[in-house]
Structure 1
Amino acid sequence: MASPGVQALVEAKWQSAFKTLNREEPGISGLLKTSQARQLASDFLRPRALSEPRRKYRADVMANAFRLLYQTKQLHGVLENFLEEMRQQRHLITEDVEAYMHEYEVRPYAFVLVTEVHETADSQIIAQLVHRLVEWFNAWRPTTETDGHPGPLESLGHVAIDSYTDAFQTHIYSVLPPSFSSGFKDLIASTLPVSDPAPPPDRALWDAFHALGLIERYESLISSVCYELVEKHVVETCAGQWSERMLQDLRDWMQNKVLPWMCLPYAPGARTMEEAGASLHGVGPRFDFHVCKTLCDLRTSEIFDIIVDYPDSIDALYDLKECLYRVDQRSNLVQSLRKANKKRLLHPGADTKDILAQYVSTIRSLRIVDPPGVLLYKVADPIRRYLRDRADTIRCIVSSLVGDNENGESLIDDEPPLPYLTKDAEDYSDPHWEPEPIDAGPDFRANKPGDVISTLVSIYDTKDVFVKELQVLLAQRLLAVTDGNYEKERRNIEILKVRFGEQALQVCEVMLRDMTDSRRIDQHVQSQKPSILHPVIISRHFWPSLQSGSFVMPQKLRSIQEEYAREFTAFKPDKRLVWLSHMGSVKLELELQDRTIEAEVTPVAAAIIELFSEKDVWTAGELMAQMQRLDKEHLRKGLNVWVDLGVLKEEGADKYRLLEVAEESSKKEGTVSAPKPKELPAVQTTQQQQAEQMRVFWNYIEGMLTNLGSLPLDRIQNMLKFARGYDRSIEQLGMFMEAARREGLVVVRDGMWRLNK
């Protein structure tokens, strides 16, 4: 039994509730009206199957019912009962979802042979499912309208609608299988503006997406579809297209095609781009970033070929530069280019000239992409180290400087004449001084690249090696000139003086002056006593070492030399001529019994055929004895010239006969002209000169190892420093010792070198 106090409290509460429900009407008439209104509202809101017809209600009756429930504070209870009934009836929605998704999941296996058809059909199944869910959503939605007139639920604001929407969406998200994501992605992709002209958008479908909350739930998936469209379009339109700017065209495509489509998910209700401007304020820059990133990735993957195609690919480089400002992928560019260089460029199969040409293109290309030079500094280091280890790098660089390469192009024609700069400390008082870029390395300032020529020269620590190689190359070019025109070489030397200084190229000036003086002296000698001989007279101490190979000319040719030497001595009493008989060329006309042969051959070949005027048959040994100091290789080459022309015939081993009458197999009518032979370079290269000098120092090394036994390389280096003229590094000494080991002169064990006994 309850206490009297509790009984009184319960009775008071009951009376208060009764008054609220009865509204102080007589008897229980008010309670009956409230009950009828509750029953009417519950029936109006009750979730039904789509096939079950909804009863027609008068607007004023429903308005009065909901108003009464609101006044009696029962409206919230009615809505709670509605949500509970919806939970009980949601199996109807689940059955529809399962049916549509089963058809979607099974259909691909039924249409395996018709790919395009089944993909379109799959997306249409998902579209049908979405429209079906919208039907359920609208059928069960507690609308605030009745027969098209405003209803009574506005007193609750959006609470009822929001509660219903959350419950409905929570259910459909819980029953949608994982395969719905791929189907929804295909459906979104089918709405993209891929065709031209693009079909009008299906706004009813997008309104359904918004009603079901699919836009918010699958926003990342929608974005990925758009990202894939951008990536596909960039690859299809820009891959391999380097001769024109593509970034602005991509942005125009985004503005005209993609952004209007973005209004559907991100700016619902907007009919123009101006109306959608606020909604797309954060979306547009995000996709512009992706355009730049995709194009940057594409150009990064193509960067090696873009550099190969420079300067035709300069527009692609400017696009890449703009993309790198927008997307910070500088490190990816460096890694990609270094990897491509290692795989396609820096290997023994690549010619040094090709490596240098690619390096020059890399310098010019990366100057466009990154003017401060940080990217070039990071990319160039492996190339520079690889070139430094190649023996012919210096010669190839010098050939490129003066246009002695295959295409005849000269770097000094493309670059302004700037002086060669050494590494100096930074001048912080310079008003144009700038801090190092944030991604610069610790040695960037000291190794900051300048112009192309300075960058190539800076591969080595000193410019002296280039000057020496330049002297060798200039000597070869000057000795090859036959028309007396030295203006190109003179111009190159004048420009290179700015680069390396006048003192460094003083020897080159002497060589140029020798060529001019030589022509003047020859003209004087010819005026005193005409001669068929036109020598080039050079200063022995100022020219690089010439290739050895002197031999004794036959008497007739030797007498011509002696006559010329006497006239020269008369003109220059304080000087005498030392003939280098193995160099130069001789124009001959041979009159045989049945033919005449005109040929321009080497002095060795001319001396050989002169000897055959004395007798018709010579052996190789007899010829070598006559000409003296002539090696077998040069003799063989001289003989082969006349054998190829059908003048001589080889009989037996090292025996040759003069053919006064041509044999039938090689008989030719009239006059025969022989092509000018390709001679070996007359001047020793820097490597050849260094090799000969190291052979001189071999006597010192051999004496050390004989007297002291086994020695380490650094000990040999320190002792050689006392030898006159020795200026080699320990690396060069190591290479020489390794060559001696291959020849069997020395052996090495545990770093100790000794003579091979």
Structure 2
Amino acid sequence: MATDALRAQIAGKWQSAFSRLNRGEPGISGLLSFSEAWTIAADFLQPRDLADPAPKKEHDMQEVRGAFDTLSKSKMLPMLLENFLESMRKQRYLIEREVDQFMSQYDSTEDCQYIAGLVLRLVEWYKAWAPIPELGYTILSAYTLAFHTQTFSILPPSFASGFKALVASTLTLIDSDTLPTWAHHPALAYYNPKRPDVPLWSAFDQLGLLDRYESLISSVCYEHIEAHIQETCAGKWGEPMLARLREWMAEKIVPWMIMPYARGARNTDEARSMLQGIGSRFDFHVCKTLSDLRTKEIFDIIVDYPDSLCALQDLKECLQRVDQRTELVQTLRKANKKRLLHPGADTKDILLQYVSIIRCLRIVDPPGVLLYKVADPIRKYLRERPDTIRCIVASLVGDGESGDSLVDENEPIQPLQQLQVEDYTDPNWEPEPIDAGPEFRTNKPSDVISTLVSIYDSKDLFVKELQVLLAQRLLSIKDGNFERERRNIEILKIRFGESALQVCEVMLRDMTDSKRIDQHVQSQKSLSLHPTIISGHFWPPLQSSTLTMPGQLKELQDEYSKQYTTFKPDKRLRWLPQLGSIKLELTLQDRTVSADVSLLEAAFIELFSEKDIWTIDELTTRVRSIDRISAAKALATWVDMGVLKAGGDSVYRLLEVAEEVPTSSSAAAIQHLPAVEEVPTIMTVQQQQAEQMKVYWKFIEGMLTNLGQLSLDRIQSMLKLAPGYDRTIEQLASFMEAARREGLVTVKDGVWKLNR
């Protein structure tokens, strides 16, 4: 049961509420006026159906304001707002019905004009149901929040894609003179035809769509930037694009950004301040998109260097703004592995691309961290190629197979740079870049030649290859002009040092001395033989042969040797006839044949002066152990000239009288002659090393005989005890692999043993 105190409290509250509603008037006259005011206000706020053809009910605004004033004095406006929002919820089906109509049209056509129509129609509903401003900000904000909430709950999932398409169509206005279909909406027809999207942005703001779909609007701008960069910048490397893109942003994108991101700005400075943050984000995206594009194109950009210099400079600026260095390294390494580091690529092409990579990445990243990370697999691959050193050396002396050179003529000639210990007391010393690896050093060689030579641990390999290449070039000179080679040696002295080129100077002096000796011999006795005389101790090993010259050719050699010994009694000549050539004239019954041929070919044709028919075996016996393939090739020269005729069983007959048409047997014999490769004059460095390694085979054979089986590391450590052994483990591995192919050894799980 209620206590007296409770009854008294309830009675007091009731009396207080009655007095507030009655406003101190006698009787219930105040309650009657409050009831009338509630009815007028509720009827005024009642949400109406815009589709109802009945005319809108007219209200006496003075009476309405009086009703709201009465409710305000009675402190019943919150209750009226709650009643109004409930009425809105009950009338929501009116809006939902129209939303379904617009969205069904959009879903069937995917035309964003229906989304624009829906947005403008929702604004009409928003304005039609909105309370008058005199009610104050609190009621208006509560209404706006409720309307936004109910509208968002009505919109189907497909609205987001339609809204994105509509926003994207506003962006196309900046690059196109053609208006989209939604621009012809009656609600937009009165506005500026150049910017018919301005009322749309206002509608988006009123409906709360800008805040709700903020990330979606940003994504539309991001995608537009990406599409524009892809369209205007892809494959265009000869002109700077980043500055042009920023101009495009300032002229086209910034005016568009004012509506979604700087709405309400009262002046230019205020708009600039509001756009500063989002503008920085879009500029970052421009740099990132251009960086991604150039990263995908980086291999072709490097191939096109120096014509692609502008693209590299753009990439450098983008990488300073965007941290895409790791992606660049990974992309370029992957492209190099797929397109460059494979057996189908020529070593010269790999070196040319590597040099371009060096020059390009030094533009993008002067400290060299990116180059260090990208070049490592290229350097390892080049070390495994046997002709890498030869290609580098050939380029140094201008003996490349093509017009491309690894050496830039504009680069100053300077000594090879060596790694130096960092001087931390240097006031200009700077720490290594933050993304540098533990093995990176900032004072790596800066010139291209030093970088190429540093692929190998020692420059001695290059010096040996220089000697081989110079020997071949000197022996190929016919006119006695050695000025070019003398200039090359002087240049190489600067790079490799005086001591490294001493042997090359001796070879060059041998060539000039040879010419002088020949002039002396010819002055004593005129001979048709002009040999090149070299000192065997300083020259690389030459290809040996047991060729013996017959007849008058032998007599010429003997006579020249006799005159030379008279001139230099302490020296003797050792002839290498397989390396020479001769110009001779053959006198036959019906014709005279002139030819410039090798001495082997001359030896064979001279033997036909003894008799007209020879077998290939008889010929090879007379000239001492020439293989049948080389002999067949030499004889084929005379068959092609019509001097000899090939018959069956490898028989050759001298044609004193020329045959007009070769017989079928002779043509068949010529057609089926085996092909033979030209044998180089000078043994290459690899051939020299292989010959020298044969000396150590007995050591290896003895190890494997006594110890059974050994690993490559163990063989290498034991061979170091042998006198004069200075091979690397990679060279030993190549030699052991060659021995395995010959069947001398076998290997399993990295352990070698003799093949018994």
TM-score normalised per structure 1: 0.90
Structure 1 546/308 Cα, relative in aligned 2: closer, same or farther at 3 Å?
same
Native 8 Å contact 1:134 1:212 kept in 2: yes
Match of 2:99 in 1: 97
Match of 2:644 in 1: 648
Which secondary structure state, in structure 1, belongs to the residue aligned with residue 600 of structure 2? helix
Match of 2:393 in 1: 398
Matched, 1:135 2:124: yes
Which secondary structure state, in structure 1, belongs to the residue aligned with residue 584 of structure 2? strand
Higher mean C-alpha deviation, range 398-407 or range 171-180: 398-407
Structure 1 755/13 Cα, relative in aligned 2: closer, same or farther at 3 Å?
closer
Matched, 1:220 2:225: no
Pick from 189, 196, 202 the counterpart of residue 176 of structure 2. 196
Match of 2:697 in 1: 698
1:28 shift after superposition: 4.5
1:249 shift after superposition: 1.6
1:290 shift after superposition: 0.7
Native 8 Å contact 1:467 1:504 kept in 2: yes
Match of 1:359 in 2: 354
Q: Residues 93-132 of structure 1: matches in 2 within 5 Å?
A: 93-105=95-107, 107=108, 118-119=109-110, 121=111, 123-132=112-121
Which secondary structure state, in structure 2, belongs to the residue aligned with residue 83 of structure 1? helix
Higher mean C-alpha deviation, range 714-723 or range 33-42: 714-723
Which secondary structure state, in structure 1, belongs to the residue aligned with residue 306 of structure 2? coil
Native 8 Å contact 1:69 1:75 kept in 2: yes
CA distance in structure 1 between the partners assigned to 2:177 and 2:198 by the alignment: 18
Q: Residues 170-185 of structure 1: matches in 2 within 5 Å?
A: 170-185=149-164
Which secondary structure state, in structure 1, belongs to the residue aligned with residue 456 of structure 2? coil
CA distance in structure 2 between the partners assigned to 1:750 and 1:297 by the alignment: 44
Matched, 1:517 2:519: no
Match of 2:72 in 1: 70
Native 8 Å contact 1:412 1:495 kept in 2: no
Structure 1 3/655 Cα, relative in aligned 2: closer, same or farther at 3 Å?
closer
CA distance in structure 2 between the partners assigned to 1:390 and 1:273 by the alignment: 65
Native 8 Å contact 1:21 1:72 kept in 2: yes
Pick from 454, 464, 468 the counterpart of residue 468 of structure 1. 464
Q: Residues 216-615 of structure 1: matches in 2 within 5 Å?
A: 216-269=211-264, 276-414=271-409, 415-445=411-441, 448-615=444-611
Match of 1:51 in 2: 51
CA distance in structure 2 between the partners assigned to 1:189 and 1:594 by the alignment: 91
Structure 1 330/715 Cα, relative in aligned 2: closer, same or farther at 3 Å?
closer
Match of 1:147 in 2: none
Structure 1 434/6 Cα, relative in aligned 2: closer, same or farther at 3 Å?
closer
CA distance in structure 1 between the partners assigned to 2:50 and 2:718 by the alignment: 105
Structure 1 68/709 Cα, relative in aligned 2: closer, same or farther at 3 Å?
closer
Native 8 Å contact 1:402 1:412 kept in 2: no
1:24 shift after superposition: 4.4
Matched, 1:159 2:128: no
Native 8 Å contact 2:407 2:448 kept in 1: no
Native 8 Å contact 1:404 1:410 kept in 2: no
CA distance in structure 1 between the partners assigned to 2:24 and 2:83 by the alignment: 27
Higher mean C-alpha deviation, range 460-469 or range 711-720: 711-720
Match of 1:688 in 2: 687
1:631 shift after superposition: 3.2
Amino acid corresponding to residue 512 of structure 2 in structure 1: T
Structure 1 6/705 Cα, relative in aligned 2: closer, same or farther at 3 Å?
closer
Native 8 Å contact 1:37 1:65 kept in 2: yes
Structure 1 685/35 Cα, relative in aligned 2: closer, same or farther at 3 Å?
same
Native 8 Å contact 1:104 1:125 kept in 2: yes
CA distance in structure 2 between the partners assigned to 1:128 and 1:136 by the alignment: 12
Native 8 Å contact 2:432 2:442 kept in 1: no
Deviations 1:572-598 (A, max 9, x none): 343332221111222223343444433
Native 8 Å contact 1:552 1:629 kept in 2: no
1:266 shift after superposition: 1.1
Structure 1 623/724 Cα, relative in aligned 2: closer, same or farther at 3 Å?
farther
TM-score normalised per structure 2: 0.90
CA distance in structure 1 between the partners assigned to 2:82 and 2:232 by the alignment: 57
Amino acid corresponding to residue 340 of structure 2 in structure 1: L
Structure 1 372/261 Cα, relative in aligned 2: closer, same or farther at 3 Å?
same
Structure 1 206/748 Cα, relative in aligned 2: closer, same or farther at 3 Å?
closer
Deviations 1:527-553 (A, max 9, x none): 444433222221211110001124222
Higher mean C-alpha deviation, range 182-191 or range 421-430: 421-430
Native 8 Å contact 1:373 1:449 kept in 2: no
Native 8 Å contact 1:551 1:582 kept in 2: yes
RMSD of aligned residue pairs (Cα, Å): 2.6
Structure 1 717/44 Cα, relative in aligned 2: closer, same or farther at 3 Å?
closer
Which secondary structure state, in structure 1, belongs to the residue aligned with residue 547 of structure 2? coil
CA distance in structure 1 between the partners assigned to 2:262 and 2:516 by the alignment: 89
Which secondary structure state, in structure 2, belongs to the residue aligned with residue 424 of structure 1? coil
CA distance in structure 1 between the partners assigned to 2:580 and 2:429 by the alignment: 56
List alignment gaps of at least 5 residues for structure 1: 108-117, 145-151, 668-676
Native 8 Å contact 1:402 1:411 kept in 2: no
1:3 shift after superposition: 5.9
Deviations 1:618-664 (A, max 9, x none): 22222223222433333222112112222211111221112222222
Higher mean C-alpha deviation, range 652-661 or range 181-190: 652-661
Match of 1:113 in 2: none
Which secondary structure state, in structure 1, belongs to the residue aligned with residue 291 of structure 2? helix
Match of 1:38 in 2: 38
Native 8 Å contact 2:368 2:442 kept in 1: no
Which secondary structure state, in structure 2, belongs to the residue aligned with residue 278 of structure 1? helix
Matched, 1:628 2:607: no
1:15 shift after superposition: 4.7
Native 8 Å contact 1:126 1:187 kept in 2: yes
1:362 shift after superposition: 1.2
Identity across aligned pairs (percent)?
65
Deviations 1:311-357 (A, max 9, x none): 22222111111111111011111111111112222222222222222
List alignment gaps of at least 5 residues for structure 2: 180-193, 664-675
Structure 1 526/412 Cα, relative in aligned 2: closer, same or farther at 3 Å?
farther
Deviations 1:163-208 (A, max 9, x none): 0010011111112111111111111112113643475232111111
Which secondary structure state, in structure 2, belongs to the residue aligned with residue 541 of structure 1? coil
CA distance in structure 1 between the partners assigned to 2:684 and 2:485 by the alignment: 18
Native 8 Å contact 2:352 2:405 kept in 1: no
1:89 shift after superposition: 1.3
Which secondary structure state, in structure 2, belongs to the residue aligned with residue 505 of structure 1? helix
Deviations 1:453-477 (A, max 9, x none): 1111111111111111111111111
CA distance in structure 2 between the partners assigned to 1:592 and 1:230 by the alignment: 84
Higher mean C-alpha deviation, range 486-495 or range 409-418: 409-418
Structure 1 750/386 Cα, relative in aligned 2: closer, same or farther at 3 Å?
closer
Native 8 Å contact 2:746 2:753 kept in 1: yes
CA distance in structure 2 between the partners assigned to 1:251 and 1:499 by the alignment: 46
Higher mean C-alpha deviation, range 461-470 or range 308-317: 308-317
Structure 1 142/346 Cα, relative in aligned 2: closer, same or farther at 3 Å?
same
Structure 1 748/93 Cα, relative in aligned 2: closer, same or farther at 3 Å?
closer
CA distance in structure 2 between the partners assigned to 1:6 and 1:723 by the alignment: 117
Structure 1 547/455 Cα, relative in aligned 2: closer, same or farther at 3 Å?
same
Structure 1 88/465 Cα, relative in aligned 2: closer, same or farther at 3 Å?
same
How many residues of Structure 1 are paired with residues of Structure 2 in the alignment? 725
Amino acid corresponding to residue 630 of structure 1 in structure 2: I
1:93 shift after superposition: 1.4
